[in-house]
Chain A
């Protein structure tokens, strides 16, 4: 088997491949569904219905997609510059910490001022958390995959320490949780009585802003150049290390926004189960979107839909909801293959 590079595919083909990847994913996972003793068609129908079959389901999916958009954007930005940020989970939790530190009454400001202040502080904290690994990479050649990945565990333990100590809610009946944020620090719900909150709007706006940055600005150009060929970028006078620092700040900041949006828009306080792995799922989301910031919105909704739909399905069809993890993981693999096929032609013998 050989791979031959082929010229850039047309937009139609580029859009066709994710669809084909999803079709292949359904085919593969239907084998597991059969093994679990259920009919694949009815299971997929139930997943789709659970994800988008009612107004409630749809809002639930969008709510679940919100943090994934942020972490997906964080990964897309970093990977574009070949800064392998595997630490979106840690940055997310730091975002949550900053939100409760500033949002539980320490800053008695009205909402229109308090929320922007918190957003800026959260992004700064997340950015600085990724700046460390970026500096270690550029200064000493330390692999950022290792440092960012390990920081996830360090930060989670750090948050655990805070929640058992200074941030512990005195009224929390001993649970490791923080106080609730004050009303002025809460993101309002988009529709009264539904869980979908303005974090989703901020996520969409962030995706558009990131798209503009990557496509239209000097920084985006520099990031892409550094990602494609660091040596070439250095030769033409692009300050490679500085670009990586800016990338780290942006990427870490976006991931931290996920933590802010979850605490401030949904949960109200910080707990150790704030994220069921949104930071890691962000990698899948970004890859499914082929690192395109606008594509991240679609892929985040797709991944969130599978999780939400699988929960609903498992209650009815008695197939474990772990099938969602299998579907998401399989879709990552099929997407990687699809991306490969858009770039190369495969020759068999």
Chain B
């Protein structure tokens, strides 16, 4: 670890009054994996964007392989051998893997790609690093895990010697995560250096040699992975000890939402196939499963954005008639959507306009077709205070908020009317430790109050920690429910993989 490939010195970046990065310095050695750990909004992504030339820092320099990089020039970063895999992929969906990877590496004046050479090179790289993917496949047909492999291949194809991975596991299944980690080991063995950005402690412990912890834009700690533990890192990250959510015994009550043999069309993966499910008051029902097996369809159904093609939905004992988002809200269903940016909020509208979005038509916020902006603003201020949202003002565009604060606003909007039924779809995806704990506390408090909660999550630990009953979804069908602790992780894993489908006919 003696030869340094990358050196950041005194990087400072301000956005108006906000200091996103405050005099951050570190070095990366050849063949080393550094984990950059920090809550959302701690400045990880900003730092990497400066390193890669997307942003220009106000102070400080970046040096790669002994040469200083000109600020604000991604081309120079690429040429210096720095490759970045973004959290949100940057692939052209309608083109093939090969075209995506070779895109931009050849002169525009050439009439066509040298496909044979490109293909050979991609296949060699894929074989060397365990990144199996068909170069001729169209990107739109690939799974999320495969797309990520294409992104990594793209960087390697451009001779990257330093690879930056921004929250690479946020979208992966456990098996895909393991495959990614194996690839990283192979890359390091070949002498590449890796910066791994994450806020998941167990991953950081698993892959890194050294951990840098960022908090509020500052480097709050630097540890050898061998000589630290999750508890210490968590403390460095949030500045205090994080207590896991405490779960009190369950007092299950009346069934509040009952699905009876409901089927739906496909929606981001499988549709529902005669699914029956009962959500009871005072109970959290956890829905586990591999992404794309019908969770999105179930979430859309309960949220009201998708209509059933068969079967019956009853709420509090009454079969529902016409089904729509408004009907769902009218029946007292609170919805926390999976995608905060595209669905949960309207980015270019203000915090105030967003918090009233589900209830702007109620007499509280409007009269005779006119909105009562004073009442709306008061409500926004209440939510900001009650749910501890950090934002400049209720007039700020919600796009400017961090993921955690956006989620707190969505929680506030959904939970404030004390809903009877709560649909929480991936409520903690992409959130930091502090925000995750907050979301969990809120869900448990709603459970105490007697709400019936459906928690859809790809994080099995989260499901196990919170759920009173667990159902597993596979290929659009549900497993029979199991009580807390009844099934082992291995058994749940088997159900997720699609075994035990036959038994789903007995689902409650």
Contacts and interface: CB of A to CB of B under 8 A. Distances in A.
Interface stretch (B32-40, B246-254, B313-321, B324-332): B324-332
A225 interface: yes
A139 interface: no
B346 A8 contact: no
B369 interface: yes
B489 interface: no
Contacts of A238: 357
Contact of B371 (A8, A221, A349): A221
A2 B361 contact: no
Given A4-B55, A8-B397, A234-B325, A216 B337 contact: no
B371 A225 contact: no
Contact of B329 (A225, A231, A237, A239): A237
A217 interface: yes
A218 B376 CA distance: 12
Contacts of B303: 235
A237 B324 contact: yes
B344 A235 contact: yes
B158 interface: no
B371 A216 contact: yes
Contacts of B500: none
Contacts of A7: 15-16, 400
A320 interface: no
Contacts, number: 76
Interface string B288-315: 0000000000000001110000000000
B193 to A, nearest CB: 26
A7 B348 CA distance: 11
B360 A221 contact: yes
A349 B55 contact: no
A232 B343 contact: yes
A221 B370 contact: no
Interface residues of A, number: 24
Given A234-B305, A349-B73, A218 B337 contact: no
A126 to B, nearest CB: 22
B72 interface: yes
Contacts of A2: 54, 72
Interface string A221-243: 10011001101111111110000
A236 B357 contact: yes
Contacts of B397: 8
A235 B371 contact: no
B459 to A, nearest CB: 23
A84 B343 CA distance: 22
B345 interface: yes
Nearest to A343: B348
Nearest to B329: A237
A34 interface: no
B269 interface: no
A2 B49 CA distance: 13
Nearest to B342: A231
Contacts of B344: 232, 235
B56 A347 contact: yes
A219 interface: yes
Nearest to B349: A228
B268 to A, nearest CB: 12
A50 B349 CA distance: 42
A221 B373 CA distance: 11
Nearest to B74: A2
B77 to A, nearest CB: 12
A145 to B, nearest CB: 22
A79 to B, nearest CB: 14
A239 B361 CA distance: 12
Most buried by B among A217, A225, A232, A233: A232
Nearest to A222: B360
A217 B72 contact: no
A349 B72 contact: yes
B70 interface: yes
Contact of A218 (B324, B328, B371): B371
Contact of B70 (A224, A228, A234, A349): A349
A221 to B, nearest CB: 6
B326 A231 contact: no
Contacts of B346: 225, 228-229, 232-233
B358 A236 contact: yes
Nearest to A224: B349
B353 interface: yes
Contacts of A229: 342, 345-348
B369 A219 contact: yes
Contacts of A224: 349, 353
Nearest to B372: A216
A329 B345 CA distance: 36
B366 interface: yes
A222 to B, nearest CB: 8
B127 to A, nearest CB: 36
A218 B361 contact: yes
A285 B55 CA distance: 35
> 8 closest Cβ contacts across the A-B interface?
A236-B357, A237-B326, A237-B325, A229-B346, A228-B348, A232-B346, A235-B343, A236-B358
Interface of B: 15-16, 54-56, 70, 72-73, 303-305, 324-326, 328-329, 335, 337, 342-349, 353, 357-358, 360-361, 366, 369-371, 373, 396-397, 400
Interface of A: 2, 4, 7-8, 216-219, 221, 224-225, 228-229, 231-239, 347, 349
Given A218-B369, A219-B369, 6 more contacts: A8-B397, A221-B353, A229-B348, A232-B344, A235-B325, A349-B70
